Amino acid sequence: MRRPIHLTHVLIGIVLLFLVILVVVGAKNSPPPFHRGQDPRIAAFTNGMTFFSDVPATVPANGAALLDGSFALRPLTPAQAAQVGLTKDQAIAAAKSMGGQLPVAQALLASFTAVGTLPFPGDQGPVAKPIENVPAWIITFTRTTPVMHVGRFVPKGTPTPASSPPAQYYHLNVVINAETGKIVLGFDTP
């Protein structure tokens, strides 16, 4: 003898089906994660690099990842070194437009990448201005009074907890294209 199907069983089935559809559609349309542990660009580009909170004095042979992998430095290749047309003093002079009268702590010549400007793996769309493996001088200026940022450094668009204590950044790093002398970007480090 067959048991009658109750209306509650049908409703439960419909609700479960609806939830499964929401989860599947939501997973396909969710934005990519933006922190070191999940951003596939950071994981792929900084694989094997040494992580630093500040710009190192020299670039390790395996490369340096800064600020949780948001920026990457590698030693210049021989081809890149041949393209360098800017001296250290010229790079410092160019960086002074951002650093002003702050004292220069160091100048480092390296291959620079802003990982957040790279396309996501499999993305076929155009990327506005990827900054990847640019021969650059990274000029570090030191402040006597820190710049305060709420929360820790995270790429643009990533929410930060409102309760995070302000981070203190004493260094302004100005990236100068070692071929053209133009400013690529600037960023703060502790």
Structure confidence by residue, pLDDT tens digits, 51-106: 999 999 999 999 999 988 899 999 999 999 999 999 999 999 999 988 888 889 99
Assess if residue 46 is contained within a domain.
Answer: yes
Assess if residue 144 is contained within a domain.
Answer: yes
Q: Which domain does 104 fall in, by range?
A: 34-189
Assess if residue 5 is contained within a domain.
Answer: no
Please give the angle made by the CA atoms of 67, 187 and 160, to the nearest 5 degrees.
55
Q: Model's pTM, two decimal places?
A: 0.71
Assess if residue 12 is contained within a domain.
Answer: no
Give the other-Cβ count within 10 Å of 118's Cβ: 18
Say if strands 64-66 and 50-52 run parallel, antiparallel, or are unpaired.
parallel
Please, which residues have CB within 8 angstroms of residue 44's CB and are 6 or more apart in sequence? 121
Q: How many domains does the chain have?
A: 1
H helix intervals, the chain: 7-29, 40-45, 78-83, 88-99
DSSP 117: G
Assess if residue 184 is contained within a domain.
Answer: yes
